Amino acid sequence: MLLTSASVFADVKIGQKAIDFSLPSLSSPDQTVKMKSYKQKTVLLNFWASWCKGCKKEMPFLNKLASDNEGKLTVIAVNIDNKKKKANDYIDKFIAKMGGTSKIKFVYNKDKSLPKAYELDAVPCSLLIKNGKIIKYYLGSFDEDNEKVLLNDVKKALK
């Protein structure tokens, strides 16, 4: 079930500027991903952990979303595992399952500074960002019952 809750997102307000970050890529270890690089773009910022069943369940959908909207929407998945190896092990298996490629930009945030800045208390959770501003937030995993909500929101954001 997909929920949005102001009490869980105490610091997230629709229209607020997205928090800038620079985090190491899990997909390309020599690179960093910077939010400021997407200031004039549409981004789905997803928070996840390898131990989270809902997070793992929604990854194929997020990958398809990124693939179907390549060049228009960037999906950045922020991992908050305590150990980077757990995140990398999951990503390796996930990419293999997806045929050896993924359109998701996986990044690592060991100290959890980004979810803390948003006062985020749960995963999975996602923020839809357009032109550097939050336009929607989602708490809970995307499943077949609520994927249409996100698809509709993305369609509107890409207009």
Determine, yes or no, domain membership for 117.
yes
Q: Number of folded domains in the chain?
A: 1
Determine, yes or no, domain membership for 9.
no
Q: What is the pLDDT of residues 39-54, one digit of tens each?
A: 999 999 999 999 999 9
Query: So what's the pLDDT on residue 82?
Result: 94
Helix axes 53-68 and 147-157, enclosed angle (nearest 10): 40
Q: Which two tokens stand for residue 115?
A: 């979810």
Determine, yes or no, domain membership for 8.
no
Structural domain span for residue 119: 22-157
Determine, yes or no, domain membership for 12.
no
Q: What is the pLDDT of residues 123-149, one digit of tens each?
A: 999 999 999 999 999 988 998 878 999
Determine, yes or no, domain membership for 14.
no
pTM across the whole model: 0.91
Indicate the SS3 state at residue 159. coil
pLDDT band for 9, please (50, 70, 90 cuts).
very low
Determine, yes or no, domain membership for 84.
yes
Q: How far is residue 58's CA from residue 69's CA, in Å, rounded to a whole number?
A: 17
**Domain CATH for 40:** 3.40.30.10
Query: So what's the pLDDT on residue 11?
Result: 65
Query: So what's the pLDDT on residue 6?
Result: 40
